[in-house]
Structure 1
């Protein structure tokens, strides 16, 4: 069917009653995410095929933003319009300083270059004043590794970013006002360079270097070295192409994904940034190997893994050891998928499960940490490794590991594994805003979640238990009890020592 028809149908599903058809919405969202990403990749490939002089760093940065946030409303026209508004503020500032400035006589959108150096300096001064003093843009020193710092629409929304994202905005704004700046792939701190001599020079001392992260501070070549604390060769002061700008931007996101806590959010960022990196640089063996290992680790798309491994082998035969290992285990995975294991069924009536007090779908509160959550699974005893049990200080609990433990989706978007003695039914049940809710539940029914077909198959006696518990717990409670403040929770995969 036409792509727009599929997208309309998926959006219709997502826009129906938000409390119902949660599983349908969960998969509709995933499909829409995938379809939009495929379209964005096609546009990125077309963009990369353009001559270098026609490629805009802003357009490339918007494509990166769109790929990582395919469900957000991010468009090049929308971003450009916001930058036009900022450029207009700069023109107003220029008008006060120099009412005859040539930038004021050019229609918005026209390409032009201010040749006179003093007139360029007036533009840069006005730009710094508007961007950093009036609009309060700044480098995000306190949350540097937040991926939002790399997304152009978020930088414009939050007025903060990292050197490369702020540089793309700064360079684009300067260009709109007739000043040509060039991107510089300086180590550890992305910069822009501004030529102070006739064009064509490559002497590093003929340039002023602008630190967009440092409120537009202007640096000499020597001062750039002070910025990073060590000397570098002249090569690092050279201007780079738009492709190289995008590789560095995507490389930053890739490193953030690697630093992640191993949860779904960090894996998604790792997948997205690898897709982008390999679209720009498709023959990078190390990143191809990382992509194959990631898909293998997540147990997804084994056919794609084999394609990647075949490509690696053709590029670098010396990788045959790693490639052979992954090929063997991927083929085993494909064979296993043909004969999937029957999921474990847990019945409450089984003697070893009699101590399990709570059931899937109940909305709970953690007695110690105060977080709100919904149960989506349970074990009669803790099934985690001894290392996890020690790290999480399970021995400090009254009943230790020898009590039921529950898989819960937490309001803050994490998943945790909580001991029975630390959970209690929520006094005023509320929706749990977790992205995985639809994976397990079909509906939010005011006081609890209804398990979907798959979860009911695994816990066939739990829904009756949940309905009974809800009837007993809430029919005599006074309505309107206020929810207590939520406290931050630690992801189940986070090994930070914290009592369960």
Structure 2
């Protein structure tokens, strides 16, 4: 039987679907939040479906799954409002990032005060997490976008990460001594020096894996060992004493040596990896480290297996000790582990450099605490920063160590004064320099002359910065400065430090302050500061200020692999290379930088205001 119904009666009508199916359709991954907003404007039925809390929870999960851990499962949230706050936070932080190039591109570094002003308008309880999430997406180099925005996104990400880490360090310092474990301290130290990298989860999982490997090795040599009768969760890593008898402890340490030094081939670091060798995540990744970092890893793993080891420092060596003969006198109770000899067990008399007083007077009454170990490697980082030829890398290394020492040892005048000197040299955090000078001067009269100098230099730089802000920016053209040899966009090579870079600005003479000129050795150059100086973007992601006599035109740039610039540095240089000064003279200097290197965000403002 054939019925001739009108064709339009069989046409699908979405408005006839029940509410549950409409919500199910809106939850599909390919339906964007903008689609839902537009869908909600059609009729009241669609508006009800589009305002469903479950729909918006689903969209939040699809777009921002990494943020869900911040929300309590027992609390009810209005997910449309949460999505709106996260989305608007993303728009605002992108506006902030895109505006930074015009404000800060001529600076070597950005002061903390500048970041505080930038981020002061974010008031949501999870604003910090929202900002970090957006900045991580901006700094992702999986696709070619605006490299300058990625550069400044990482700057803000570093600052926000440091703010969060300061709180975690203060919580760590507030813990009782027995709860300040070396594992927590080592992870926090590595995170502090690498604030844009998520270290905690990866390190914890690798330590779990290594602990399991030691258990498996122990199973082969002693299947009845008491460690194998309990789970990892049952071991108290905060215990100050070993859980086992000395012979059982030695069996565990022997298995640990086999796993670390024979199976996995952990070894002392090469010279070109010396900074990274202090970070536990790098030690685990590369299986190389210096004596102290390998010793820290050894102590952490031994503690996870129920054996307490303690560090012994000397000027020329680093050893670990453990309680092997508790029945003997104090001086004979301990045996030592020489990390440099793949965990070899040695008696006190046979220790390397055992004639040193540190080893002679070594007792259990005063073991080195985890906090003291962190202080030690922080000072080592400061010393390394002084030795590194790469000036910017050295300054970053010194800042990492000194800023952490200011948290760990607030009464230590030496670290405060050194940090003030670094800030003065970089021309940043000058208000904090004045605060340091005032605080240290109140309790230290010996360094009064140095403190007075630091205070006067900081005030002079602050006054100069205020004047510079009020000055009218004048475009610079090569036609007015014939002594300037190179142009914006040219690819250069540094004659002393051998890095490849691209010019993005220049000054006819050095515009840096006198402190920077002296500390950078500008007075030793042939033409001193009375020569053109160039703002350059370096292949490692840093920006520097280089004298004309120290630069030469580079050969065509090689492919550069670096987490900040990476493979895009070459295409960046190819795109913006300007081979002659005549081409550049057609444009004012600031317009070249702004138009060629910095992009603008496009936002759907109408939709944002109408729906969200």
TM-score by structure 1 length? 0.76
The answer for the alignment partner of 1:388 in structure 2 is 525
Residue aligning to 1:87: 211
Query: CA, structure 1 residues 54+336, in 2 after alignment: closer, same or farther (shift >3 Å)?
Result: same
Of 348, 352, 355, the residue aligned with 1:221 is: 348
Higher mean displacement: 89-98 or 321-330: 321-330
SS in 2 for 1:318: coil
Taking a change above 3 Å as real, the CA distance of residues 459 and 431 of structure 1, as seen in their structure-2 partners, is: farther
Q: Deviations over 1:403-423 (max 9, x none)?
A: 999665454668665669952
- Whether 1:67 aligns to 2:192 is yes
Deviations 1:319-372 (A, max 9, x none): 32222222222222222221117567531223735x84x521134679999975
Q: Name the structure 2 match of 1:120.
A: 249
Are residues 1:96 and 2:220 paired?
A: yes
Assess if the C-alpha contact under 8 Å between 1:254 and 1:269 holds in 2.
yes
The answer to whether structure 1 residue 130 and structure 2 residue 255 are counterparts is no
Alpha-carbon distance change, 333 to 4 in structure 1, aligned in 2, over 3 angstroms: same
- Between the aligned partners of 2:341 and 2:394, the Cα distance in structure 1 is 28
Change (3 A) 1:337 1:458: farther
Contact map agreement 1:430 1:447 (CA 8 A) in 2: no
Structure 2 residue 231 is the aligned partner of structure 1 residue 107: yes
Q: Closer, same or farther in 2 for the Cα pair 1:117/1:462, shift >3 Å? A: closer
Rounded to whole Å, the distance in 2 between the matches of 1:458 and 1:302 is 38
Matches for 1:309-458 after TM superposition, within 5 Å: 309-340=437-468, 345-350=475-480, 352=482, 356=485, 358-363=486-491, 372-377=500-505, 387-389=524-526, 408-411=536-539, 422-423=552-553, 426=556, 444=572, 447-448=575-576
Give the match for residue 470 of structure 1.
none
User: 2: CA distance between counterparts of 1:36 and 1:30?
Assistant: 10
Residue 53 of structure 1 corresponds to which residue in structure 2? Answer: 178
Q: CA deviation at 1:53?
A: 0.8
Name the residue aligned to 1:473. none
Comparing 127-136 with 307-316, which one deviates more in the overlay? Answer: 307-316
Structure-2 separation of matches of 1:404 and 1:289:
32
Supply the distance in 2 between the matched residues of 1:102 and 1:150 (Cα, whole angstroms): 33
Listed one character per residue, the Cα deviations across residues 179-199 of structure 1 (whole Å, up to 9, x for unaligned) are 221222333322211112228
Residues 1:205 and 2:329 are matched in the alignment: no
Q: What's the offset of the Cα at 1:272?
A: 1.2
Give, in whole Å, the separation in 1 of the partners of 2:226 and 2:295: 24
Matched, 1:272 2:400: yes
Q: What CA distance in whole angstroms lies between the structure 2 residues aligned with 1:297 and 1:259?
A: 17
Change (3 A) 1:363 1:296: closer
| Change beyond 3 A, Cα 1:11–1:331 | same
Q: Is the 8 A contact 1:368 1:422 kept in 2?
A: no
* Residues 235 and 305 in structure 2, CA contact (< 8 A), matched pair in contact too: no
Q: Aligned with 2:398: secondary structure? A: helix
Match of 2:387 among 218, 239, 259: 259
Larger relative CO (CA 8 A, sep 6+): 1 or 2? Answer: 1
Distance 2:233 2:429 in 1: 45
Superposition RMSD on alpha carbons, in Å? 4.0
Larger radius of gyration: 2
Q: What is the rounded CA distance, in whole Å, between the counterparts of 1:351 and 1:27 in structure 2?
A: 31
Q: Is the 8 A contact 1:348 1:462 kept in 2?
A: no
Partner of residue 43, structure 2? none
* DSSP-derived class of the 1:340 partner: helix
Q: For residue 431 of structure 1, report the CA deviation from its aligned partner.
A: 7.6
- Aligned residues of 1:191 and 1:209 also touching (Cα < 8 A): yes
| Cα distance between partner residues in 2 of 1:339 and 1:352 | 28
Instruction: Give how far 1:447 is off.
Output: 2.4
Kindly provide the CA deviation profile for residues 96-125 of structure 1, in whole angstroms up to 9, marking residues without a partner as x. Answer: 111111111111221165432222221111
- Superposition pairs of residues 229-240 of structure 1, within 5 angstroms: 230-232=356-358, 234-236=360-362, 238-240=366-368
Aligned residues between the structures: 441
Cα distance in 1 between the residues matched to 2:143 and 2:380: 35
CA contact (8 A) 1:68 1:272 kept: yes
Is 1:35 equivalent to 2:160 in the alignment? Answer: yes
Task: For 1:190 and 1:265, locate their aligned partners in 2 and report how far apart those are by CA, in whole Å.
Answer: 27
**Larger helix percent:** 2
- CA apart distance, 1:42: 1.0
What is the rounded CA distance, in whole Å, between the counterparts of 1:424 and 1:95 in structure 2?
59
Aligned to 1:184: 312
Which residue of structure 1 aligns with residue 23 of structure 2? none
SS of corresponding position for 1:315: coil
Distance 1:192 1:308 in 2: 37
CA distance in 2 between counterparts of 1:369 and 1:330 reads: 29
Give, in whole Å, the separation in 1 of the partners of 2:592 and 2:217: 69
Equivalent residues of 1:408, 1:418 under 8 A apart: no
- Report the alpha carbon displacement of residue 262 of structure 1 after superposing the two structures with TM: 6.0
Check 1:370–1:286 CA distance in 2 against 1; reply closer, same or farther (3 A cut).
closer
How far apart are 1:463 and its partner, in Å? 7.6
Aligned to 2:418: 290
Measured in 2, the distance between the counterparts of 1:307 and 1:435 equals 33
